[in-house]
Amino acid sequence: VGNLPLFVSRAELEQHDIVTYSFGDQEALYLRGQWTVHRNEPRVSSVWQRCDHIAGQLQKELLLKVAWVRRMESRGIANYPKRFQSAEGCYSHQAVSRGDLRIAMVHKQAVGLTASGEPEAAIYAVDGAVWRCAAETRVDPDELA
């Protein structure tokens, strides 16, 4: 995971303004916030500002959330529907509706990945970085720090 060229190709980044990585749920057409790469240009990096509840009206949205929680708690209601507006939903809609952004959805996330047989790689998490090494390589994790 720490070695992005293993997952992200140069062509994906050169040919698209936004690349989002799915895990087999492509029928849900939205940009995955946790694994979406954006070209660092104002026309791309400003798309989120078209979603009022996370941009210009963020403070109002937060105050409404707090008011809702306080109202429920004052009535002694512990289990209640939460006030939720999807940032990914609005952001995805705004990005696609612009019409001038090249967007790619690529199936690459490894959610629920299981391995069988001999491992091809060893994964090490050291000081906030993740290293993928060939399974037969002898690695001293202290040297990766």
**Is residue 35 pLDDT above 60, yes or no?**
yes
Inter-residue contact 32 to 107 (CB < 8 Å): no
Global confidence as pTM: 0.62
d(CA 24, CA 37): 18
Pairing relation of β-strands 18-22 and 36-38? antiparallel
pLDDT digits (tens, 9 = 90+) for 80-103: 888 777 788 888 888 988 889 998
Q: What is the pLDDT of residues 42-64, one digit of tens each?
A: 999 999 999 988 899 989 989 99
Of 114, 123, 115, nearest to 144 by C-alpha is 123
